[in-house]
Amino acid sequence: MFETLFTYPAVLARHQTGPGSAERGRYLAHCAGQGLARETLLRVARELLVVAERLDVTVGRQFTRLEIEAAAGKWVRHQRRRRRGRGDWSRQLFIQIATDWLRFLELLAVPPDGKLNIHSDLIDDFIAHLRDERGLSPRTVSQRRWQVERFLRHVSSAKSSIADIAIDDVDAFLDSRGRDGWCRVSIATSAAALRSFFRHAEVRGWCSPGIAAAIDAPRLFKQDGLPRGPRWVDVQRLIEGTVGEDPRDRRDHAILMLLAIYGLRSGEVRGLRLVDLDWTGEVITVQRPKQRRTQYYPLVASVGDAILRYLQAARPRCSSREVFVTLKAPFRPLSAGGMYHAVASRLNALGIQAEHHGPHGLRHACAAHLVETGLSLKEIGDHLGHCGTYATRTYAKVDLGGLREVAAFDLGGLS
């Protein structure tokens, strides 16, 4: 299998002679049989070698989730010392590949109930509460599950029961996130999720009272900083750079047009379905899960043409009804990471400097451009799908011309 992926002799030899080569080769053959593209197989093969160097599968014993996470942590620290890798992303990739590989080899230690997290039942109860009683959006519920599962895995080596967890454990976890490079907003988001979980746990009697109230998070200031996105002239360069006949160019061109012109969120573009495009009425239907409502936009000719070119000449034939799918097998709807890569990779290729290199940066750029054209905050909010002007008012800070007019306002001698 390695001979079909690697041609450079030194690289091929490293994979053939590396630890667990037979087990890695069998798994790669299995992945190839599932229809994975060659580029995906290459990424899996490279990560498998990293995993095999840290988890010796030749001894024939099973590995726990905690062992996988500990090995992932050592790998990330090694990468940081070499000033390489992308922190949490590298850790998650290691865990994902290692878990899938060990499961294939039947070397993944799974609890008797079949759940990798010993607190799965409690987490499911918490999630049902958020979904059914509080009515939170699926996106918010998913994010809180991820945050809580991450914390419980972190403490599970020392705390087998939620009743044993104390506020010091929560503080230590949040401190470790800061050392791992998380920003204040990310740490505050994690703290909010844990506060919600322990509030529910206290009601259920799972833990000691007072933990939720004692959880502290970095202070965040409303309207702290400007909404950061590329300049509109750079957005135009970005879109022009995707004009081509290559399938990826066609797909990314349509995506960038939707992000920049309509100011859509990443999830709204990823969730766009073929039935949402009304070619006869020239209307595009956008499902806004954050507000739980549907919004209709006129289908701008340039955007419609871009989507049509992609559908006719670049979109693979597949059963998925989402507009944007992967270009190589196995064909599936574009993921959040795929959407981010579609934007960030092209911004980096053009050398465009922006604080936000992902899809949300183009939403900020769209809003800033609308401010420059003189639209009111109400009009901008309606375009972006905001429920009120509260979320839109941050863009008033980018209207430098308007701010200068306020500063130069003549009070007629009044002081």
- Residues 58 and 19: beta-carbon distance below 8 Å: yes
Q: How many residues are listed for the chain in this entry?
A: 415
Cα 395 to Cα 376: distance, rounded to the nearest angstrom:
10
- What is the three-state SS of 99-128? HHHHHHCCCECCCCCCCCCCCHHHHHHHHH
Cα 84 to Cα 98: distance, rounded to the nearest angstrom:
20
- Residues 290 and 139: beta-carbon distance below 8 Å: yes
| Residue 23 structure tokens | 């087990």
| Residue 406 structure tokens | 């306020």
- Counting other chains too, the contacts that 33-40 makes at CB distance below 8 Å and 24 or more residues apart are 34/330, 35/329, 35/330, 36/329, 36/330, 37/328, 37/329, 38/5, 39/328, 40/328
**What burial letters (b/e) apply to 192-230, b meaning 16+ CB within 10 Å?**
ebbbbbbebbbeeebbeeebbeebebeeeeeeeeebebb
Residue type, 71: A
Cα 363 to Cα 265: distance, rounded to the nearest angstrom:
7
Q: What is the DSSP letter of 83?
A: T
CA distances in angstroms from 301 to 22, 36, 264, 328, 392, listed in the order given: 54, 36, 17, 28, 27
Cα 190 to Cα 370: distance, rounded to the nearest angstrom:
33
- 205 backbone φψ class: left, alpha, beta (φ>0; ψ -120 to 50): left
User: What 3-state DSSP class applies to 288?
Assistant: strand
The residues assigned a catalytic role are 265, 290, 360, 363, 386, 395
The torsion angles phi and psi of 299, rounded to 5 degrees, stand at: -80, 100
Q: What is the DSSP letter of 162?
A: G
